Amino acid sequence: MSDEVWGWVRAAKRIAVLTGAGMSAESGVPTFRDAQTGLWAKFDPSQLATEEAFRAKPSMVWDWYAFRREMIAKVEPNAGHKALADFALRYPGRLTLITQNVDGLHQRAGSRHVLALHGNIADDKWLDPPKACCNAAAAVAGSPPYCERCGNLLRPDVVWFGEPLPLRALAAAEEAARACDLMLVVGTSGVVYPAAGLARTSAGKVVIVNPHPSDLDDAADAVLRGTAAQLLPQLLED
């Protein structure tokens, strides 16, 4: 752990934190590929996680998500998730949390107002723009659930291949990057858009927390080699 970086955290008035898959590694969240077991082994996730696939075979895609939801429900937030949530509680308004993860572990650790750039696998939304009759709480149970009046289907509220990121969350993330004194980039390779763009437009210092080299290391003011669960509790403690 670097005393210098610890000092930057103490001094920063606005901290943006961007987390990726490595954030949840110690929670044991199965990756997209890990979920391809048993019955699902013969399917390619890129063929399932699309709007076209869902429209063509809604119940197959829904069941695949139900399986992934079950796997994710069994894992727990780690010490890194908790450190971020605790810091935000102690210092309201100082930390903006941006995540590429859909596992919902930040939210389960107690973080609020998470900017979930790829959605949250635990949530549903309507496949087609909802009409007045579409009430998710009253959807008819099924695989997938649907609106009894118009037949609109519920789908997982995640960003599928070929879909744009949620505009409001992305705009808020870009604003947080531009306005921060310090950005922590945790457990992301930096290859996946928009992580690289956010880190490179950061107005503040950029600190990478990652046990592995990432494409963003060259843009960083400091690189901390370790995992989120190891390093964030030390970095964010008082």
With binding defined as CB under 5 A, does residue 147 bind Zn ion? yes
Q: Cβ(81)–Cβ(2) under 8 Å?
A: no
Q: How far is CA 189 from the centre of its chain?
A: 14
**Site residues for Zn ion, window 171-190 (CB under 5 A)?**
none
With binding defined as CB under 5 A, does residue 125 bind Zn ion? no
Mark residues 151-170: x for contact with Zn ion by CB under 5 A, - for none.
Answer: -x------------------
What would the 3-class secondary structure string for 138-193 be? HCECCCCCECCCCCCEEEEEECCCCCCCCHHHHHHHHHHHHHCCEEEEECCCCCCC
Residue of 177, 129, 121 whose CA lies nearest to 150: 129
CB 130 to Zn ion: min, Å: 6
Cα 197-199-202 angle, rounded to 5 deg = 105
With binding defined as CB under 5 A, does residue 134 bind Zn ion? yes
Residues forming the active site: 118
Cβ count within 10 A of residue 201: 12
**Which CB sits closer to Zn ion, 115 or 154?**
154
**Which CB sits closer to Zn ion, 128 or 163?**
128
DSSP state of 103: S
Phi, psi of 16, deg, nearest 5: -105, 135
CB 141 to Zn ion: min, Å: 15
**Which CB sits closer to Zn ion, 128 or 237?**
128
CB 226 to Zn ion: min, Å: 49
Cβ count within 10 A of residue 212: 10
Residue choice 74, 112, 149, 225 for contact with Zn ion (CB under 5 A):
149
**Which CB sits closer to Zn ion, 134 or 199?**
134
Mark the segment that binds Zn ion (CB under 5 A) among 1-9, 80-88, 128-136, 160-168: 128-136
Residues that bind Zn ion (CB under 5 A): 131, 133-134, 147, 149-150, 152
